[in-house]
């Protein structure tokens, strides 16, 4: 296929190593054959890997790091900055029960907010990154990054390319960064005694901990955690378990008799009172807890977009919002603004459907997301009418970007739409990956449920 100048520029901007890989694929038929990448097959019903990796240079990594951290910090500031942490005001805007809002805010301090983990979804455009949504939650895809990276590096074709072109991979250890973060964030809870200190951590997810044997990931994680603790003259263990395996006593959390000092929950913030009590009384570092529901609500982007000229934000913050947040509004009857002009929501959404996206305020995996370009007009009109009545959806301007070039079919390559997932641990860049989907026919939502594949991101020197 013909590689357009626009396509080449976007790949080269990420890193010229992408162009080297395309050159390599042009000279090596095996690099274009899907059968050469059978070792990347994942026996996972949710995720599939794209045959070709993606390479980024230090400048690109810094762009991702800065944009993701800035957006994350802005979202975390919303409850206090825009609502003064008032449960009544928050309840009215997000259409949530007041008691639920009070629970979400319980125990939340600036220190707690500073240490949250999450992942933002971005599209890379010629003018920079645009944030489609930000899930300040641990219960999102991407924890498998180390496994995915290993599969790529062990693939014979990719290994051949790296050797021939002398490409050095500089990725930080994703799980190592996460473990560094939980150790640092729980430092105030170190239980000192004798010549050593203990710091036990837990990752809590549904369905874990019932087996009698550890899986390879658990074994790897425990060994890595032990090494990290040893560097700080500490001891401890990390457990992966279900909430049902936990015990609560004297406002503390235990797993099989071991007190837990840091707990990462993968339940979207839906956790039992015992965990909340230990957290709110200062006996547990919790990542992230009930505040997850509020901070991951997509209405937050509508707030940032709508307040982009407000003095509630500094000049630098306003610039970040204008540069990084696409035009986004809560779908409500009445007037709003679009690019500086007054519009009426009822009269705007249907005629402009081809440049708009409708999303629910809460949801994962692209569920309930409709791109106007790929939605029949009659269906779009029904979506608009329902959204105006229910007031639980938002509209976002469709972000256009040059496609990326990736392997396609049994033997070849083709343009793909891409969405970047960027991880943040507190104020640290954790790593990224790319979801890719073949660019053909009507524009599709780029997620696993529509057939998207994941391309691992490798950081390189240039």
Residues 169, 458: contact at Cβ < 8 Å? Answer: yes
pLDDT band of 209, cuts 50, 70, 90: low
Out of 43-47, 128-132, 248-252, which region has the weakest mean confidence (pLDDT)?
43-47
Cα separation of 366 and 369, whole Å?
5
Reading the block at residue 208, the tokens are 């874990």
| Partners of 243 in beta bridges | none
pLDDT band of 216, cuts 50, 70, 90: confident
Cis check for the bond before 420: say yes or no (omega within 30 of 0): no
Residues 76, 136: contact at Cβ < 8 Å? Answer: yes
Q: Which CATH architecture has domain 327-398?
A: 2-Layer Sandwich (3.30)
Reading the block at residue 49, the tokens are 């890997």
φ, ψ of residue 459 to 5 degrees: the values are -90, 130
> Residue 196: what pLDDT?
59
> Residue 102: what pLDDT?
96
Reading the block at residue 306, the tokens are 């709508």
Q: Would the pLDDT of 176 be above 60? A: yes
Q: What is the percent of the chain where pLDDT is above 70? A: 96
Of 291, 288, 292, 248, the C-alpha closest to 272 is 248
Cα separation of 90 and 440, whole Å?
41
Cα separation of 329 and 306, whole Å?
7
Q: Would the pLDDT of 410 be above 60? A: yes
> Residue 275: what pLDDT?
96
φ, ψ of residue 256 to 5 degrees: the values are 50, 45
Q: Would the pLDDT of 193 be above 70? A: no
Helix (H, G, I), strand (E, B) or coil at 401: coil
pLDDT digits (tens, 9 = 90+) for 330-374: 999 999 999 889 999 999 999 999 999 999 999 876 778 999 998
Every domain of the chain and the residues it spans: 5-59+123-169+408-459, 327-398
- Residue 442: other Cβ atoms inside 10 A: 10
pLDDT band of 25, cuts 50, 70, 90: very high
Q: Which residue has the tokens 């976007």?
A: 10
Q: What is the percent of the chain where pLDDT is above 90? A: 80
Cα separation of 245 and 261, whole Å?
16
pLDDT band of 184, cuts 50, 70, 90: very high
């Amino acid at each position: 296929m013909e590689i357009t100048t626009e396509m080449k520029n976007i790949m080269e901007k990420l890193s010229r190593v992408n162009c080297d890989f395309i050159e390599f694929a042009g000279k090596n038929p095996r690099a274009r054959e899907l059968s050469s990448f059978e070792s990347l097959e994942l026996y996972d019903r949710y995720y599939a890997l794209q045959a070709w990796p993606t390479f980024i240079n230090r400048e690109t990594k810094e762009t991702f790091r800065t944009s993701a951290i800035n957006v994350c910090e802005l979202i975390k500031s919303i409850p206090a900055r825009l609502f003064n942490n008032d449960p009544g005001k928050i309840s009215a805007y997000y259409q949530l029960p007041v008691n639920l809002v009070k629970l979400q805010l319980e125990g939340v301090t600036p220190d707690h907010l500073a240490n949250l983990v999450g992942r933002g979804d971005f599209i890379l455009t010629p003018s920079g990154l645009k944030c489609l949504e930000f899930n300040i939650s641990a219960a999102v895809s991407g924890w498998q990054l180390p496994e995915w990276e290993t599969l790529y590096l062990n693939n014979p074709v990719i290994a051949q390319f790296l050797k021939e072109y002398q490409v050095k991979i500089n990725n930080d250890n994703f799980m190592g960064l996460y473990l560094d973060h939980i150790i640092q964030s729980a430092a105030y809870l170190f239980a000192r005694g004798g010549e050593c200190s203990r710091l036990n951590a837990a990752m809590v997810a549904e369905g874990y901990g019932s087996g009698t044997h550890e899986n390879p990931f658990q074994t790897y994680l425990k060994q890595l955690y032990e090494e990290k603790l040893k560097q700080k003259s500490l001891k401890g263990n990390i457990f992966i378990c279900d909430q049902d395996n936990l015990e609560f006593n004297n406002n503390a959390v235990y797993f099989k008799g071991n007190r837990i000092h840091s707990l990462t929950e993968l339940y979207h913030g839906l956790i039992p009172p015992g965990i909340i009590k230990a957290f709110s009384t200062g006996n547990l570092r919790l990542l992230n807890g009930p505040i997850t529901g509020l901070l991951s609500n997509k209405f937050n982007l509508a707030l940032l977009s709508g307040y982009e000229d407000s003095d509630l934000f500094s000049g630098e913050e306003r610039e970040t919002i204008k540069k990084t947040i696409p035009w986004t509004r809560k779908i409500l009857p009445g007037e709003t603004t679009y690019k500086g002009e007054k519009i009426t929501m009822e009269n705007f959404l249907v005629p402009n459907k081809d440049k708009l996206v409708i999303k629910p305020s809460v949801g994962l995996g692209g569920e309930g997301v409709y791109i106007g370009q790929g939605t029949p007009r009659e269906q779009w009109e029904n979506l608009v009418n329902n959204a105006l009545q229910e007031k639980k959806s938002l509209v976002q301007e469709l972000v256009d970007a040059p496609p990326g070039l990736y392997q396609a079919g049994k033997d070849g390559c083709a343009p793909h739409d891409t969405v970047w997932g960027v991880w943040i641990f507190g104020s640290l860049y954790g790593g990224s990956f790319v979801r890719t989907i073949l660019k053909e026919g009507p524009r599709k939502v780029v997620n696993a449920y529509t057939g998207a594949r994941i391309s691992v991101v490798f950081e390189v020197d240039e």
